[in-house]
Chains A and B, each alone.
Chain A
């Protein structure tokens, strides 16, 4: 079955479901799971260099704390969770991570933040479905 699984995680409800599904699937993949979280830079609200840096720091702190929670959750399920943090274009970074790590399954959630813009721009999920180098499981 799947040998190496990565879950894309942003703390949203959809990502939470993706994590639960991945924890379930990983039972057949050696109880080891990988997670990647990406914060898009620079944040929309930043207008000066200092603000960009501050925003980056805050985002990194926030994602790290989300990942800590996820690691705790995984530990309860008896799974070792490896976490990685990236910044830049969210879809691009996830595709890169999945390719470099030799993963054969990427798990992601559908319901995120992008409700309003989805019909016009397409979501991160659409881009991942299109460009991921491995199988993609879209959870909802």
Chain B
């Protein structure tokens, strides 16, 4: 009985979609596709941004300060997402999560919140460090995620 339900869950429509968003153009582009999917599947849409805390930060005050700064930064860039969401007729929840490493944070969050799809932007073309970094996050997440992962390419001008 339990097995049947698991199979259905595995192949059914997406119910809760998680977007990893870092305010980059490629992640904002990925959010657009996730919003369409959320509308199609009538799914809940969660967006997380990761405030990376360097290893050398030890005091709680310093930590809180970094998280507050990250929250301010991301909140200041939310406008395009809100526009896209309004146009698609959906709502989403944005959260800033603190951690040392991005892929692990996204995977842990997905597991804890029983997410059934992770959407990430993938930088194509353009190049250099940003491409390498987003590429690596995408690969790492797709390797270890507990659920399907959708990587959305973004062509930089």
Contacts and interface: CB of A to CB of B under 8 A. Distances in A.
Interface stretch (A51-59, A79-87, A125-133): A125-133
Interface residues of B, number: 24
Interface residues of A, number: 20
A140 to B, nearest CB: 7
B20 to A, nearest CB: 14
B40 A126 contact: no
Contacts of A125: 142-143
Contacts of B153: 132-135
A27 to B, nearest CB: 9
B11 A24 contact: yes
B57 to A, nearest CB: 31
Contact of A138 (B10, B37, B124, B148): B148
A1 B36 contact: yes
Given A1-B36, A140-B145, A24 B138 contact: no
Interface string A1-38: 10000000000000001001100100010000000000
19 contacts: A1-B36, A1-B40, A17-B10, A24-B11, A110-B143, A125-B142, A126-B142, A129-B122, A129-B135, A134-B153, A135-B33, A135-B152, A135-B153, A136-B151, A137-B151, A138-B151, A139-B148, A140-B145, A140-B146
Interface of B: 10-13, 33, 36-37, 40, 122, 124, 135, 138-139, 142-143, 145-153
